[in-house]
């Protein structure tokens, strides 16, 4: 029983990863997790949850749009790079990811992108807005240096306003010092 | 009074009033609000009304000073409320020096009944000014950012309230992210930073909110992101930061012509500019020397001099309206502080601290500040609240807000 549930949750995570986030899926995932944490008193109810979700997943696979597929591809090549505290330098690891993004942009030459810059919460609001802009610009300039035209890339800084990971510790801060690439929708 | 921590014992009698007004309870509400203001300043102690030997009606004549000396009152406030028309009233107040046995001043105000809170704040200011020699700050408002939602998806709304939390009002609906509001000197406008319009392809920008008309306007479109706005003391210009291509510089904009001038140059982050009260200098935050430090330059951008030299990062400097201090945020050894220094950088001291304390703002008079603080909770979440503290670093207290609150900006004094 529990084994099934685990497999199911992993499946949903993978699909989430591939198809980018989808509201319906998210809520179903929450349902399933809720079912998992419930006391194991009614086995039949849990089985019902699995059946429901499995059906929806199949439907979602069919409904993927071109844009969703491209977003999924971007996530797969690496949509984000990370920074040290109060830093905006592109590490070797980040450079590799940006080279992948460059290849992706060459393959999809009609696409334009927005890079959002983010900071951890350990700085003042205004300084972090500037630092987020500096991080997003560092990513943008790296792509330009590889040969992407500057008019295909916009930047937006969110400073410390939109952390990608919740939490108030080193782990969260490391994830939140980031620049993330998004495909612009037309 | 200055550094004197001993609170002055004062008596604030309920006011006398006519029968027809009694049901409004203003004869109690007005003196209570005055008492609340004065006690919150930390400089006064209200003597228990049960111990008063004269009732409000008896105080319509000269008080029996001996009766008030017995309970140790150094000053006595008495008052009378009269109905002028159906919706108008008149409030007269007297401040008595118990030991000098004389009237220190009398004041009579008339207005619409519904403005009774405003009347109480004006009276509070006059009494505070007379007793301390400092400028009062009670007839003022605070604009701030009201926060709700989860950490990853915060809803932020512009909100405004009286300095004591009264007349609370939301100014925006929370659909777009708004940050860092600041009052204009005539306090009819608020400038703030917002992501409003990014879906339509606009850059995150500085906006202007007119409190009288409720109209919001965007302040120009720049090649980069415009943020960190603050008015000049004469209200004619705005200083701000423009971020483009990884560099953030300070610019000044004339609000009439909308013409801008670049004040700082180079590859560093220069932000959080704030004018000196005479309008001749600007203090700002820059990482040009590596770490984040405070600098003072002339209004035209010339002669930038570093003023902070301690360990840690310095940010968000704000010049006191009196000109004698610069308040700032400091981050060092994993903690955030609110600090003060002289405009030349001397006499640095820290007056408040926390997991995150940020964004000091001065009350008129330059003796009291507000800031915001994130407070870690047992369950791992954060509570964000506004606080008030005076320059001695004593008498810190929380300001009540309906939800989480950040980025406070204290208004200048109301113009009567």
Q: Give me the interface pTM, i.e. the ipTM.
A: 0.94
CB B255 within 8 A of CB B216: no
Q: Is the pLDDT of residue A47 over 90?
A: no
Which of B271, B292, B308 would best serve as a mutation to test chain A binding (most A beta carbons within 10 A)? B271
**Buried b / exposed e along A153-163 (16+ C-beta atoms within 10 A):** bbbbbbbbbbb
A126 interfaces chain B, CB cutoff of 8 Å:
yes
CB nearest to A126's CB, from B198, B227, B380: B227
Instruction: Give the closest-approach CA distance of B137 to chain A in angstroms.
Output: 27
Eight-state DSSP code of residue B345: S
Question: In this structure, how many other beta carbons lie within 10 angstroms of the beta carbon of residue A75?
Answer: 16
Mean pLDDT for chain A overall: 77
Residues B136, B121: Cα–Cα separation, whole Å: 9
CA distances from A70 to A12, A111, A142, A183 (A): 19, 10, 21, 8
Write out residues 72-91 of A within 8 Å (CB-CB) of B: 86, 88
CB nearest to A124's CB, from B177, B248, B358: B358
Domain parsing of chain B, residue ranges: 8-132, 141-410
CB nearest to B285's CB, from A121, A127, A138: A127
CA distances from B15 to B12, B92, B124 (A): 9, 9, 14
Partnered with residue B376 across adjacent β-strands are B382
Q: pLDDT tens, B311-355? A: 999 999 999 999 999 999 999 999 999 999 999 999 999 999 999
| Residues 6 or more apart whose Cβ sits within 8 Å of residue B286 | B264, B268, B269, B270, B271, B292, B293, B295, B304
Work out the pLDDT band at A20, boundaries 50, 70, 90.
very low
Residues B192, B171: Cα–Cα separation, whole Å: 12
Residue B197 pLDDT? 85
Residues B412, B28: Cα–Cα separation, whole Å: 28
Mean pLDDT for chain B overall: 94
Residue B300 pLDDT? 96
* Cβ–Cβ gap A131/B198 under 8 Å: no
CA distances from B334 to A171, B62, B356 (A): 15, 59, 9
- Residues of chain A positioned with their CB less than 8 A from the CB of B404: none
Residues A95, A97: Cα–Cα separation, whole Å: 5
Residue A37 pLDDT? 38
Work out the pLDDT band at B1, boundaries 50, 70, 90.
very low
Eight-state DSSP code of residue A123: S
Tokens matching residue B354: 């926390």
Q: pLDDT tens, B221-261? A: 898 999 999 999 999 999 999 999 999 999 999 999 999 99
Residue B63 pLDDT? 95
Q: Is B263 helix (H, G, I), strand (E, B) or coil?
A: coil
Share of chain B above pLDDT 70, in %: 98
A129 interfaces chain B, CB cutoff of 8 Å:
yes
The continuous run of DSSP H or E covering A44 comes out as helix A43-63
3-state secondary structure string across B327-361: EEEEEECCEEEEEEECCCCCCCEEEEEECEEEEEE
Q: Is the pLDDT of residue B2 over 80?
A: no
* Cβ–Cβ gap A157/B204 under 8 Å: yes
CA distances from B172 to B155, B294, B404 (A): 11, 33, 16
Write out residues 14-73 of A within 8 Å (CB-CB) of B: none
CB nearest to B269's CB, from A131, A138, A165: A131
Q: Among all residues of chain B, which has the CA nearest to that of A134?
A: B246
Residues A145, A151: Cα–Cα separation, whole Å: 13
Instruction: Give the closest-approach CA distance of B248 to chain A in angstroms.
Output: 6
Residue A61 pLDDT? 53
Give the full edge-to-edge strand order of the sheet including B178-183: B178-183, B189-194, B205-210, B216-218
The continuous run of DSSP H or E covering A46 comes out as helix A43-63
B141-410 topology per CATH: Neuraminidase (2.120.10)
* Cβ–Cβ gap B272/A163 under 8 Å: no
Residue B21 pLDDT? 87
CATH for B8-132 is: 3.40.50.10070
Domain parsing of chain A, residue ranges: 2-64, 67-183
Q: pLDDT tens, B250-303? A: 999 999 999 999 999 999 999 999 999 999 999 999 999 999 999 999 999 999
At the second CATH level, the architecture of A67-183 is: 2-Layer Sandwich (3.30)
**Concatenated DSSP letters of B169-210:** EE-S-SSS-EEEEEE-TTSSEEEEEE-TTTTTTPPSEEEEEE
Global confidence as pTM? 0.87
Eight-state DSSP code of residue B297: E
- Residues of chain A positioned with their CB less than 8 A from the CB of B224: 133
Residues A159, B145: Cα–Cα separation, whole Å: 16
Q: Among all residues of chain A, which has the CA nearest to that of B240?
A: A126
Residue B415 pLDDT? 64
CB B96 within 8 A of CB B75: yes
- Residues of chain A positioned with their CB less than 8 A from the CB of B244: 133, 137
* Cβ–Cβ gap B315/A167 under 8 Å: no
- Residues of chain B positioned with their CB less than 8 A from the CB of A165: 152
The continuous run of DSSP H or E covering B351 comes out as strand B349-354
CA distances from A56 to A1, A24, A87 (A): 20, 9, 43
Q: How many CA atoms lie within 13 Å of B210's alpha carbon, on the beta-carbon side?
A: 8
- Picking from B413, B414, B389, B383, the residue whose alpha carbon sits closest to that of residue B401 is B383
Eight-state DSSP code of residue B302: -
Residue B395 pLDDT? 87
Q: Phi then psi for B110, rounded to 5 degrees?
A: -130, 145
Tokens matching residue B371: 């800031």
Which of B147, B199, B240, B248 would best serve as a mutation to test chain A binding (most A beta carbons within 10 A)? B248
A166 interfaces chain B, CB cutoff of 8 Å:
yes
Work out the pLDDT band at A102, boundaries 50, 70, 90.
very high
CB nearest to B241's CB, from A121, A130, A161: A130
CB B13 within 8 A of CB B56: yes
Which of A133, A161, A171 would best serve as a mutation to test chain B binding (most B beta carbons within 10 A)? A133
Q: Mean per-residue pLDDT for B41-58? A: 94
Q: Is the pLDDT of residue A9 over 70?
A: no
Residues of B with CB under 8 A from a CB of A: 150-152, 154, 177, 179-180, 193, 195, 198, 203-204, 224-225, 227-228, 241, 243-248, 269, 271-272, 285, 292, 313, 315-316, 329, 331, 355-356, 358-359, 374, 376, 380, 382, 407
Cα–chain center distance at B121: 14
Tokens matching residue B359: 């964004």
A184 interfaces chain B, CB cutoff of 8 Å:
no
Q: Is the pLDDT of residue A30 over 50?
A: no
CB B139 within 8 A of CB B118: yes
* Cβ–Cβ gap B225/A156 under 8 Å: yes
Residue A132 pLDDT? 98
């Amino acid at each position: 029983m529990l084994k099934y549930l685990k497999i199911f949750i992993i499946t949903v995570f993978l699909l989430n990863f591939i198809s980018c986030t989808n509201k319906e899926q998210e809520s179903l995932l929450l349902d399933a997790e809720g079912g998992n944490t419930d006391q194991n008193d009614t086995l039949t109810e849990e089985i019902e949850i699995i059946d429901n979700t499995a059906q929806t997943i199949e439907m979602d696979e069919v409904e993927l749009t071109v844009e969703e597929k491209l977003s999924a591809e971007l996530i797969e090549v690496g949509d984000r790079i990370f920074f040290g505290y109060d830093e905006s330098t592109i590490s070797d690891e980040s450079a590799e990811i940006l080279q992948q993004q460059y290849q992706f942009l060459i393959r999809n030459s009609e696409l334009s992108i927005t890079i959002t810059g983010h900071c951890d919460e350990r700085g003042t609001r205004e300084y972090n807005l500037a630092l987020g802009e500096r991080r997003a610009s560092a990513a943008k300039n790296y792509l330009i240096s590889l040969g992407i035209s500057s008019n295909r890339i916009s930047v937006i800084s969110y400073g410390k306003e939109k952390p990608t990971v919740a939490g108030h510790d080193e782990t969260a801060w490391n994830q939140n010092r980031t620049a993330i690439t998004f495909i612009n929708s037309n | 009074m200055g550094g004197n921590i001993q609170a002055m014992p004062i008596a604030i009698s309920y006011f006398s009033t006519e029968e027809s007004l009694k049901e409004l309870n203003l004869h109690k509400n007005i003196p209570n609000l005055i008492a609340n203001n004065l006690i919150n300043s930390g400089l006064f102690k209200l003597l228990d009304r049960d111990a008063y030997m004269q009732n409000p009606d008896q105080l319509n004549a000269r008080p029996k000073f001996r009766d008030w000396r017995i309970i140790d009152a150094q000053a006595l406030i008495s008052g009378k409320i009269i109905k002028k028309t159906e919706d108008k009233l008149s409030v007269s107040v007297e401040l008595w020096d118990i030991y000098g046995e004389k009237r220190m001043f009398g004041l009579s105000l008339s207005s619409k009944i519904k403005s009774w809170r405003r009347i109480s704040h004006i009276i509070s200011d006059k009494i505070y000014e007379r007793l301390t020699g400092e400028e009062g700050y009670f007839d003022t408002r605070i604009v701030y950012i009201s926060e709700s939602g989860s950490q990853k998806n915060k809803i932020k709304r512009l909100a405004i309230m009286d300095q004591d939390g009264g007349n609370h009002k939301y100014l925006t609906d929370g659909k777009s992210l708004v940050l860092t509001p600041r009052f204009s000197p005539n306090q009819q406008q608020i400038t703030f930073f917002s992501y409003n319009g990014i879906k339509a392809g606009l850059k995150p920008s500085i906006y202007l909110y007119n409190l009288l008309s409720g109209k919001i306007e965007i302040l120009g479109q720049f090649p980069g992101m415009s943020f960190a706005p603050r008015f000049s003391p004469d209200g004619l210009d705005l200083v701000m930061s423009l971020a483009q291509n990884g560099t953030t510089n300070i610019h000044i904009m004339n609000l009439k012509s909308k013409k801008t001038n670049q004040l700082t140059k180079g590859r560093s982050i220069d932000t959080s500019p704030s004018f000196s009260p005479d309008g001749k200098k600007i203090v700002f935050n820059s990482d040009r020397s590596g770490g984040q430090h405070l600098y003072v330059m002339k209004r035209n951008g010339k002669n930038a001099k570093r003023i902070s030299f301690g360990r840690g990062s310095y940010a968000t400097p704000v010049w006191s309206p009196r000109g004698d201090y610069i308040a700032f945020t400091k981050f060092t050894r994993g903690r955030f502080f609110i600090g003060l220094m002289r405009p030349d950088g001397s006499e640095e001291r820290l007056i408040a601290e926390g997991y995150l304390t940020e964004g000091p703002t001065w009350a008129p008079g330059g003796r009291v500040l507000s800031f915001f603080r994130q407070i870690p909770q047992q369950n791992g979440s954060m509570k964000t609240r506004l606080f008030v503290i005076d320059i001695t670093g004593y008498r810190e207290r929380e300001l009540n807000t309906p939800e989480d609150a950040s980025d406070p900006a204290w208004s200048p004094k109301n113009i009567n």
